[in-house]
């Protein structure tokens, strides 16, 4: 039943035999030289010019006002949630259809996640679901949005799934009414825009990841984007052990974190940044080829939402039901093609089975039927070998 699409995937990647990875990183001589030059400089750690330069590159590319580079995307989320003042008496709204890091970062602060449904057209948190839940369960007490449990709803973390921009403008409007801080988890959507505006610039804070499977990578890395200069400054302070600037003294004015990105990683990322427009173009072309491959089959490619431009970080296809999804995954596995289901819903993981949640029908339906298919930007060959 799946022979034709499996042959088609091999055709697209020009690999008649051998494994086809879900997402392979891509490095060239320029990347290699950037790392070597940084090593030669000896400035590989927490001091160096590459970090600030990379933060400026991010600002230029996304249009965000400020960027703070950190060790990974999970630390970026934790940092943003701390700046939103999330703590043990708070709730944070998010979607169960996400990578587990989004939920874990909420737990690190002591706050409890609230899981609400996604929209079928974006696979991101539904502004309508958020509004309905707030109206039903919360009231404003002064400037605080208070849940019937007595806990305060402090923040909301939507995620731009697989690079598809969710309805962030509508969500920001709902959260403004209820004085809830929005943090965009844009780990998967570097290069994606809604209405010409880059994801990660709609809310006061947004987070990025440069893990090995993301659209550009330095092995491990992350960043927080900010609209406000003072918040960016506080993030830099918190992520560098809350060290007070001084020519020689070591003093610290808070419990800080060692979340700063090493200069070596930033050097590689600056080189990777130069390839980002090219990576996006290749991924968008790959998406069109998949659209052609799946046209006329019973299976549906997930498309970019109306009014958006997706980086198509990971291509996704919807099967008709879970049995068919599992049969397709088996066929891909047998054919040495790395495909995978979406992350299991957070509410199905033991840490979150008792979490507060709304009706999750769309999340459940999408999770049951979705398969991510190979999406490397440079599938054919590694230029270093």
Minimum separation from the CB atom of position 209 to ligand PLP (A): 3
Q: Whose Cβ is closer to ligand PLP: residue 72's or residue 240's? A: 72
- Distance from C-alpha of 174 to C-alpha of 93, rounded to nearest angstrom: 12
Quick one: 13 or 210, whose CB is closer to ligand PLP? 210
Rounded distance between C-alpha atoms, residue 379 and residue 22, angstroms: 10
The least distance separating ligand PLP from the CB of residue 245, rounded to whole angstroms, comes to 28
Residue 251 C-beta: closest distance to ligand PLP, Å: 30
- Compare residues 159 and 224 and give the one whose CB is closer to ligand PLP: 159
φ/ψ of residue 39, rounded to 5: -60, -45
Cα 295–chain centre separation: 28
> Tokens standing for 119?
């929209």
Nearer residue to ligand PLP within complex by CB, 26 or 162 = 162
| Closest to ligand PLP by CB, 187 or 280 | 187
Residue with tokens 């208070």: 146
Minimum distance between the CB of residue 99 and ligand PLP, rounded to whole angstroms? Answer: 4
Q: What angle do CA 224, 230, 235 make, to 5 degrees?
A: 35
Nearest to 200 by CA among 245, 158, 230: 158
CA–CA gap between residue 58 and residue 52 (Å, rounded): 10
Least distance in angstroms from the C-beta of 104 to ligand PLP: 9
Neighbour count for residue 375 (Cβ, 10 Å): 24
**Whole-angstrom Cα distance, residue 147 to residue 374?**
42
The residues that touch ligand PLP, with contacts defined as CB under 6 A, are: 72-74, 98-99, 101-102, 159, 185, 187-188, 209, 211, 222
CB of 98 to ligand PLP, least distance (A): 5
Residue 124 or residue 379: which is nearer to ligand PLP going by CB? 124
Residue nearest ligand PLP, Cβ-based:
73
Distant-in-sequence, close-in-space partners of 174: CB < 8 Å, separation ≥ 6: 127, 130, 131, 134
Structure tokens at 349: 């993981």
* Nearest distance, CB of residue 74 and ligand PLP, angstroms: 3
Q: Which helix (H) or strand (E) holds 78?
A: helix 73-83
CB of 193 to ligand PLP, least distance (A): 18
Residues whose CB is less than 8 angstroms from the CB of residue 269 and which lie 6 or more positions away in sequence, other chains included: 54, 57, 69, 210, 216, 217, 218, 221
Contact between 191 and 215 (Cβ < 8 Å): yes
């Amino acid at each position: 039943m799946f022979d034709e699409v499996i042959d088609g995937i091999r055709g697209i990647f020009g690999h008649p035999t051998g494994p086809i990875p879900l997402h392979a990183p891509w490095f060239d001589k320029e990347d290699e030289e950037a790392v070597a030059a940084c090593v030669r400089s000896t400035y590989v750690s927490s001091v160096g010019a590459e970090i600030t330069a990379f933060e400026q590159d991010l600002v230029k590319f996304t249009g965000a006002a400020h960027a703070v580079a950190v060790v990974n995307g999970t630390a970026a989320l934790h940092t943003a949630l701390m700046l939103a003042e999330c703590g043990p008496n708070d709730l944070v709204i998010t979607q169960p259809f996400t990578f587990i890091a989004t939920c874990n970062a909420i737990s690190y602060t002591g706050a409890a996640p609230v899981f609400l449904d996604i929209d079928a057209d974006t696979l991101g948190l539904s502004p309508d679901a958020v509004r309905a839940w707030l109206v039903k369960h919360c009231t404003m007490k002064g400037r605080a949005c208070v849940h019937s449990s007595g806990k305060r709803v402090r923040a909301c973390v939507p995620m731009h799934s697989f690079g598809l921009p969710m309805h962030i403008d509508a969500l920001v409007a709902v959260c403004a009414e209820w004085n809830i801080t929005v943090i965009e988890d844009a780990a998967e959507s570097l290069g994606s825009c809604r209405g010409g505006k880059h994801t990660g610039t709609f809310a006061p804070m947004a987070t990025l990841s440069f893990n090995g499977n993301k659209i550009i990578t330095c092995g491990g890395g992350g960043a927080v984007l900010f609209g406000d200069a003072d918040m960016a400054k506080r993030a830099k302070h918190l992520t560098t052990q809350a060290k007070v600037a001084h020519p020689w003294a070591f003093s610290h004015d808070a419990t800080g974190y060692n979340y700063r990105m090493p200069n070596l990683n930033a050097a590689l990322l600056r080189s990777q940044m130069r390839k980002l427009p090219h990576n996006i173009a290749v991924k968008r072309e790959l998406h069109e080829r998949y659209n052609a491959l799946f046209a006329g089959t019973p299976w549906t490619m997930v498309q970019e939402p109306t009014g958006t431009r997706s980086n198509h970080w990971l291509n996704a296809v919807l099967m008709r039901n879970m049995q068919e999804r599992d049969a397709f995954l088996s066929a891909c596995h047998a054919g040495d093609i790395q495909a995978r289901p979406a992350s299991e819903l957070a509410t199905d993981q033991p840490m979150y089975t008792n979490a507060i949640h709304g009706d999750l029908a769309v999340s459940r339906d999408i999770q049951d039927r979705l398969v991510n298919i190979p999406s490397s930007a440079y599938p054919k060959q590694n230029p270093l070998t």
